[in-house]
């Protein structure tokens, strides 16, 4: 049976890597370290997927601009010290390997920095599977469609033959803005009802369910 998609684009944090708690905790720890208001868990989770500066502006508004560089630096410190111990979601490696062997083009579109994504790809051993990547420090942050559109252009595919897989409304809105199909992962940062409201093609609980959906629909 012929493939419906040529390119499958994955978000990273909260989609491939189980990093939601680490990111939210790093935001909160950075705020405590600078004696700033500490966002609650839900607020910290809602900004996951955005570029770091945009995320911290939303999570910690109304602070002096002079403190923003220190907040970003302290966040990076707290996250990096634990980053190599953050696991992939169960089944992520096997799913990506199967898709690669099946001939799909694979890419990553993430709110991480280029350096952060490179660390994660190298530490996880997944770098060899991805044909292209975009990060929030080299393209406009989600939900702007730039990351997806740049990947589509670089890999010479059509928007109609591209699928986005992500765990946040930022991922799904980026896909909508790029006129790209999307599947939502329910094991990440945003609540099921938030993802459902954006009407992705499917919502799946985990990589086992994603693999089944892809075999039947991709």
Q: Tell me the C-alpha distance between 154 and 51, whole Å.
A: 21
Please indicate, yes or no, whether residues 76 and 109 belong to a single structural domain of this protein. no
pLDDT digits (tens, 9 = 90+) for 164-214: 999 999 999 999 999 999 999 999 999 999 999 999 999 999 999 999 999
Q: How many domains does the chain have?
A: 2
The single residue of 6, 11, 70, 171 carrying the catalytic annotation is 11
The rounded distance, in Å, linking the Cα atoms of 76 and 185 is: 25
**CA angle, corner 200, sides to 194 and 203, nearest 5?**
75
Among 6, 13, 41, 206, the active-site one is 13
Is 11 assigned a catalytic role? yes
Same structural domain, 123 and 212? yes
What's the CATH number where 175 sits?
3.40.50.1000
Residue that terminates a domain, selected from 68, 83, 98: 83
- Residue 210 lies in domain: 7-18+87-217
The percent of residues above 90 in pLDDT, for the chain, comes to 97
Is the pLDDT reported for residue 1 higher than 80? Answer: no
At 32-75, the pLDDT tens digits run 999 999 999 999 999 999 999 999 999 999 999 999 999 999 99
Of 83, 117, 135, the last residue of a domain is: 83
Contacts of residue 133, Cβ cutoff 8 Å, sequence gap at least 6: 107, 108, 109, 110, 117, 121
């Amino acid at each position: 049976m012929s493939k419906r998609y040529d390119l499958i684009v994955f978000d990273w944090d909260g989609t491939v890597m189980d990093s939601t708690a680490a990111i939210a905790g790093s935001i909160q720890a950075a705020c405590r370290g600078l004696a700033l208001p500490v966002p609650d868990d839900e607020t910290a989770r809602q900004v996951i997927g955005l570029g770091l500066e945009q995320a911290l502006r939303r999570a910690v508004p109304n602070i002096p601009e002079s403190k923003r560089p220190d907040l970003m630096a302290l966040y990076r410190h707290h996250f990096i010290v634990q980053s190599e111990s953050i696991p992939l979601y169960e089944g992520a490696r096997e799913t990506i390997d199967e898709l690669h062997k099946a001939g799909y083009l694979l890419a990553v579109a993430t709110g991480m920095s280029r350096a952060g994504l490179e660390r994660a790809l190298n530490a996880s051993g997944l770098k060899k599977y991805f044909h292209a990547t975009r990060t929030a420090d080299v393209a406009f942050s989600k939900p702007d469609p730039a990351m997806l559109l740049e990947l589509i252009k670089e890999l010479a595919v059509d928007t109609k033959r591209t699928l986005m897989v992500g765990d946040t409304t930022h991922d799904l809105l980026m896909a909508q803005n790029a006129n790209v199909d999307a599947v939502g992962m329910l094991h990440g940062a945003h609540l099921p009802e938030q993802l459902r409201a954006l009407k992705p093609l499917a919502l799946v609980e985990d990589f086992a369910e994603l693999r089944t959906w892809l075999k039947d629909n991709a």
